[in-house]
Amino acid sequence: MTLDSTLWELVAMQLTEHIRPDRGDRTWLDALNRIARAVLVPKGVRRPPLLAPKICQIVWSVRSHAQLLAAEKHHPEKHPGKYPPILLVLDGREFVIDGHKRVNHYLDAVAIEPLSVIVLTIRR
């Protein structure tokens, strides 16, 4: 098993909790794309890409308080969580796709240690 496949399994596990059949989701990938659209469109991304393992590079990374403060977030709610936040790098901008509450909780705590995250980047 590769690191990529392990990270995608973690993403799948995390997003399975977000599957909403009433919103057209059948799989975790449907949930990922629905959530991504909900984040990206209000932030001015006119045609969000269709995210999938074949077109996304996935990495385990860390982000500092300052880096997460600069990431574009969707809502201000706060809550600790068990999964790492999922970020998307798109056209030089970094968006929190899943884990807004965890990121906001971390930012509110003014933590010194960086936060572990999963970062998706579109392969070009």
Closest listed residue to residue 14, CA positions, set 80, 73, 83, 117: 83
Inter-residue contact 98 to 71 (CB < 8 Å)? no
Check pLDDT > 70 for residue 14.
yes
Q: CA 8, CA 69: separation in Å to the nearest integer? A: 25
Q: CA 122, CA 113: separation in Å to the nearest integer? A: 27
Q: For the residues 15-43, what does the mean pLDDT come to?
A: 96
Write down the pTM of the prediction: 0.91
Check pLDDT > 70 for residue 111.
no
Q: What's the pLDDT at 6?
A: 94
Q: CA 50, CA 34: separation in Å to the nearest integer? A: 9
Q: What's the pLDDT at 62?
A: 96
Q: CA 27, CA 30: separation in Å to the nearest integer? A: 5
Q: What's the pLDDT at 82?
A: 84
**C-alpha of 4 from chain center:** 15
SS3 content of the chain, % helix, strand, coil (to 5): 40, 25, 40
Where do the structural domains in the chain lie, given as residue ranges? 3-122
Q: What's the pLDDT at 65?
A: 87
